[in-house]
Each structure stands twice: as structure tokens, then as C-alpha cells.
Amino acid sequence: MAKRLKHVIGAVGLDEAGRGPLAGPVVAAAVILPRGFRITGINDSKKLTREQREDAAARIRDKAIWAVALCTHEEIDRLNILEASMEAMRRALSQISEPYDKILIDGNRVPFGLNGEAVIKGDGKYACIAAASILAKTVRDALMVEMSSTHPNYGFERHFGYPTPDHFEALRTHGPCPIHRRSFAPVRESEQGSLFDLL
């Protein structure tokens, strides 16, 4: 039986999606779940099917206080992926105008300037963090599907920019496209013609 997540009234949860991909933005979400919100079906986004995530995201958008923000692939290359993830979370939180009592952040680091609590594997412990993980993941996936129409040779609608064998093959064949993260080693190496070493 799945462990029930804690529903902390007055807490805002922060999480991000997209640290690992080779292309596209990193997306963060901030969520406050109201008293009485039904947390059944809310979980770490990675443990839900795509349909379950979409259903949960629709309910969160309808009932919760939430905001989503991102850092682009250019910002990731300039800042590095960790700092870009932290910045995306700061941006998401800055859009929350309702008062909150505490900030719960997935991971082991609190973004600079925030007085919050980092919770390792928090998206499997707190409902507000899990809800943030769901919104971040669904928004980012939708963005990558949209980008796949502009960059159709890479399969972004399937792997969402993550380093899969077919993504490596597309990089080897076509080289990086404008939304690839040049600071990531496989992308750099594909530009240098040495991606075959990774396959």
C-alpha cells in the first residue's frame, strides 16, 4: 500500500523538472494545497502514469494556489543546471501572492535567499511538493512536445530531451539543434563529432 503523503496546511511546496535532459528548459512549480484538498492520486510525478499526472495536474490547477516558472536552455548554459534549477524555483515562488507559513523544497539544497526547508525525496513525503513535481513535469513535457514540431528530427515528443539511445542517435546524425544545452557533455561532443564514443 502506498504511503500517504503529509498535507501541511499553509506550506508552499517547490520542485523542478528537467535537470537531466540534454535539451529544453528546466521548469519549476510552487504549490499551496488548500485545507480539504483531496490528496488521493497526488504523488511523486515519476511514480504516476502520464494520464494520472494530467488528471492530477488539472485538479491542482483548479483547486490549489500555484505558479510555474522556467529557466531556458541559454540560462542553463550560462548559470549551470543546478543554479538554473534554483533560479526557476525562486521565480515560481515569487509569483505566489498568497501568504504561507513555510517553504518545503524537494532535494538537499535551499535556493539562495529563501528561508525554506530542503527535504530529500520530498516529492514522496509532502503533498505540496508532490503537487509541484506534477505541475513542473506536465508543463515541461507539454513544452517539449510543442518544441518537437519546430525540431522534428529529435523525438522530443517521446523522450522530452532526456538522454535516450534514440536521442543520442539523432544528435549523432543531425548534430544539436538550437534548444540543446551546449554545456552538457554529450551535446558538446556531438558538435565535435565524437558522440559515437557514447553509443
Report helix, strand or coil for 11.
strand
Amino acid residing at 82: L
Encode pLDDT of 153-181 as tens digits: 999 999 999 999 999 999 999 999 999 99
Q: For residue 131, is pLDDT > 90?
A: yes
Q: How far is CA 87 from CA 1, 128, 183, in A?
A: 36, 19, 17
Radius of gyration of the chain (CA): 17
Classify strands 102-106 and 117-119 as parallel, antiparallel or unpaired: parallel
Band (4; pLDDT cuts 50, 70, 90)? confident
Rounded CA-CA distance 151/162 in Å is 15
How many beta carbons lie within 10 A of that of residue 94, not counting itself?
11
pTM of the model: 0.93
pLDDT at 14 over 80: yes
Q: Do residues 111 and 105 make contact, with C-beta atoms less than 8 angstroms apart?
A: yes
Report the percentage of the chain scoring pLDDT > 90: 91
Burial of 73 (0-12, 13-18, 19+ CB in 10 A): buried
Taking CA 113 as the corner, what is the angle to CA 184 and CA 16, rounded to the nearest 5 degrees? Answer: 40
Residues 58, 134: Cα–Cα separation, whole Å: 10
Determine whether 166 is exposed, middle or buried from the number of CB atoms within 10 Å of its CB (0-12, 13-18, 19+).
exposed
Is residue 91 pLDDT above 70, yes or no? yes
Q: Indicate if the pLDDT at residue 197 is higher than 90.
A: no
Number of helices and strands (H, E) in the chain? Answer: 7, 5
pLDDT at position 180 is: 98
